[in-house]
Amino acid sequence: MTKISPWLSVTDAGAAVRFYEDGLGAIESEADRFEEGGTLIVAHLAIDDADFWVQADPSANPEVAADSIRMILSVDDPDALFARAVAAGATEVAPVSDGHGWRIGRIADPAGHHWEIGKPL
């Protein structure tokens, strides 16, 4: 099996995990959680079968994150998940709309990472 699992650097891993759980419906794997001195350092999360990692990095720069990587999260109801993410603290970059064979919109999460939330039409 071949797959890609993004590894996202964030300044506050605990806050990032809370956003991904509340805003995107992610579930954290407790078995892959690493804390140091009571502070979350690394977490492994999944949104259905799509897994990704979050790591605390005090030097993480949200502006660099926006320019360096963009995730495409394909879901059955992009409008609902997009609204949920914005309600949980994401910033709307592009509203959900139809184009190029997709129903898709883009948000920036609180750590600055951009997520395209959509589905092929």
Q: What is the DSSP letter of 59?
A: T
Q: Does residue 107 belong to any structural domain of this protein?
A: yes
- State mean pLDDT over 85-112: 97
Q: Does residue 1 belong to any structural domain of this protein?
A: no
- First vs last C-alpha separation in the chain: 27
**Per-residue pLDDT tens over the stretch 27-77:** 999 889 999 999 999 999 999 999 999 999 988 887 776 677 789 999 999
> Could you give the number of structural domains in the chain?
1
Q: Which residue range forms the structural domain that includes residue 21?
A: 7-58+65-120
Q: For position 68, what pLDDT does the model report? A: 72
CA dist., res. 1 & res. 39, Å (int): 33
Q: Which residues contact 39 (CB under 8 A, 6 or more apart)?
A: 13, 14, 56
Q: Are 83 and 36 in contact (CB under 8 A)?
A: no
Q: Does residue 84 belong to any structural domain of this protein?
A: yes
Q: Residue 5 pLDDT more than 70?
A: yes
3-state secondary structure of 68: helix
Q: For position 41, what pLDDT does the model report? A: 96
For residue 83, give the CATH number of its domain. 3.10.180.10
**pTM for the predicted model, two decimal places:** 0.91
Q: Does residue 105 belong to any structural domain of this protein?
A: yes
Q: For position 121, what pLDDT does the model report? A: 96
Neighbours of 33 (CB within 10 A): 15
- State mean pLDDT over 11-31: 95
